[in-house]
Amino acid sequence: MTSRWLRFAAVAAASLALLARPAAAQQILRDAETEAFMADMSAPLVQAAGMEPRNVQVLVINDPNINAFVAGGQYVWVHSGLIAAADNVNQVQGVVAHELGHIEGGHVIRYGEGMKEATGITLLSLVLGAAAIAAGGAEAGMGILGMGQQAAMGKFLAFSRAQESSADLAGARYLSKAGVSGKGSLEFFKKLQNQEYRLAIPQDDSYGRTHPLSGERINVLREVYTVDPAWDKPMDPKLEARFERIKAKLVGFVSEPSQTLLKYPESDQSLPAHYARAYAWHKSAYPDKALAEVDALLAAAPHDPYFLELKGQVLLESGKPADAIPPLREAVQLTNQPLIATLLGHALIATENDANFAEAEKVLRNAIARDRENPFAWYQLGVVYEHRGDLPRAALATAERYSMMGEDQMALRSADAAMQGLKPGTVDYLRAQDIAMVSRAAVEQKRKKR
């Protein structure tokens, strides 16, 4: 989650939802099952890196490119395209281990060091070039300027490649300490190398690139991985089965339905295939077909919380909120997941039955207590407060939502409105005051930039 803070984007009510951070306009895929899987998959690696698993998050971004990155804080961002391209969980673990190497090495913070060195070279070349021009050597002066810029870029690229190589070796250490094979890491670098071949990237020299060539990385890491005791250790079959489910549901959610149905045809009766097709049919507005796929999943695992969650989602978004409540209630009881609880709260409100609003408030308040960075949960809670006539708290919930969305002006207005009706000195009043203060400063800063 890093410097890119959450903003609600689209598919607001969906259990698998898109959110975005305004700084980079990146869409984040929030999904209870995916986040639980990523946490369990990466926990041994995080511990091997000397970090606390509860402080490190591995999140998925809706982007078809094969990529992963860190951007400040203890957060690893994985593109949905990378998961779709991975053949097994071990390959994803190899990527995550590498990114953890960037976190442990403080590479995002040290990025400024590389820029500073490169800038120093550029400034020196400017001084020398200007002196040569002033002395009458215009051609020599321009040459010095050009060489200085080239040297600065080379210095920075070398710095970047060194960081990547350092993260590769750090990731190898984490995999070894966690008892996870490095085969997946090498396999994934091979995929990247095949991409380089397709793009006709020269394979003889990595000069001029921010990353070492994949072939160079494979050669170095092969020597490390093949002698490691974990090299021949098989993958955890339960973790691999969970990965296949996650991959299928992500493909079903982000891909065009026609593409999903080609990848997971009707002839494929596996659980992942049913999962992918359920999302494909739901996206295509065929609720009966989607429910048929979900029922096939529940026939195999009647009390799987994520299958129950999906059934509730399809029913809710098909205009049957009352029918969605029982499966969602059971899913919440089984997992206590705040994202699923938010979906249940939405279903309770969507019934427009006054008797359900008290339960909706309880469910949503519990969800927010465990996951404050969910704008849609705040929106739903605001609806509950407005329904019961508590306009100041409805305004506070709206302020929370706009604050996460990066809508500073709207957050300021809502926070000011909340303070007009809240008792000074209370927790809610102080929270509204905090939002107003931060939002006002952000508005002023934007005004000065203009």
Nearest Cα to 314, choosing from 297, 300, 299, 301?
Answer: 297
Domains and CATH numbers, the chain: 7-105 (3.30.2010.10), 107-166+176-225 (no CATH)
Residues 6+ apart with CB under 8 A from 64: 79, 80, 81, 84, 254
Q: How many CB atoms lie within 10 A of CB 25?
A: 10
pLDDT of residue 11: 33
The letter for the amino acid at 141 is G
- Report the C-alpha gap between 140 and 145 in whole angstroms: 9
The pLDDT value given to residue 161: 53
pTM listed for this prediction = 0.79
Q: Which pLDDT value is given to residue 366?
A: 96
| pLDDT tens across the length of the chain (450 residues) | 332 223 223 333 344 555 544 334 458 888 999 999 999 999 999 999 998 988 888 989 888 888 888 876 788 889 999 999 999 999 999 999 998 988 875 544 444 444 444 344 344 444 444 444 444 445 544 443 454 444 444 443 444 456 787 888 899 999 999 999 999 998 988 887 777 656 555 545 544 444 566 677 888 888 889 999 999 999 999 999 999 999 999 999 999 999 999 999 999 999 999 999 999 999 999 999 999 999 999 999 999 999 999 999 999 999 999 999 999 999 999 998 999 999 999 999 999 999 999 999 999 999 999 999 899 999 999 999 999 999 999 999 999 999 998 999 999 999 999 999 999 999 999 999 999 999 999 999 988 887
3-state secondary structure of 10: strand
pLDDT for residue 97: 93
pLDDT at 385: 97
The pLDDT value given to residue 337: 94
Q: Are 125 and 143 in contact (CB under 8 A)?
A: no
Strand order in the sheet with 17-21: 7-10, 17-21, 26-30, 57-61, 75-79, 68-69
Of 98, 78, 132, 383, residue with least CA distance to 254: 78
Model pLDDT, residue 340 = 97
Residue 208: other Cβ atoms inside 10 A: 9
Q: What is the reported pLDDT for 199?
A: 57
pLDDT at 194: 76
